[in-house]
Amino acid sequence: MDENEEALGRLGENWEGGFVVGHGMDVGVLRRAGIEDADAVVVATDGDNTNLVVAQVAQKRFGVGCVVARVLDPARAEFYATRGLHTVCPTSTAIDVISDVVRTCEVPA
């Protein structure tokens, strides 16, 4: 689902799934996308607020069992994770990877 139909092209020519044009905060669009029969929902827009709202709607209103939200703000990701929402925080992942690289870097003599 995306508001921009051109986003379908980014999925690649081997994409076998469906595609719905619309905004994820629109319950009618969610229904057209099949949320009532969904086993899982991944919410990964450019905005944490949108991701968190849509994820909670999927989880609480539609009872989707597996809901994952991308959340860029580490504190917010942790806050919602402690309340039962699966979150993925690329910022935290990047911090961890960068820290590991810095700890293992050899300093030239």
Report d(CA 108, CA 90) in Å as an integer.
Answer: 30
> Is residue 2 included in any domain, yes or no?
no
Number of domains into which the chain is organized: 1
What's the whole-number average pLDDT of the chain? Answer: 92
> Is residue 27 included in any domain, yes or no?
yes
CATH number of the domain enclosing 76? 3.40.50.720
Look at the chain and count its residues: 109
Report d(CA 89, CA 77) in Å as an integer.
Answer: 6
> Is residue 109 included in any domain, yes or no?
no
- pLDDT confidence of residue 7: 83
Domain boundaries, position 40: 7-104
Cβ atoms 3, 11 nearer than 8 A:
no
**pLDDT tens digits for range 53-106:** 999 999 999 999 999 999 999 999 999 999 999 999 999 999 999 999 999 987
For 25-81, give the DSSP string: T-HHHHHHTTGGG-SEEEE--S-HHHHHHHHHIIIIIS--SEEEEE-S-HHHHHHHH
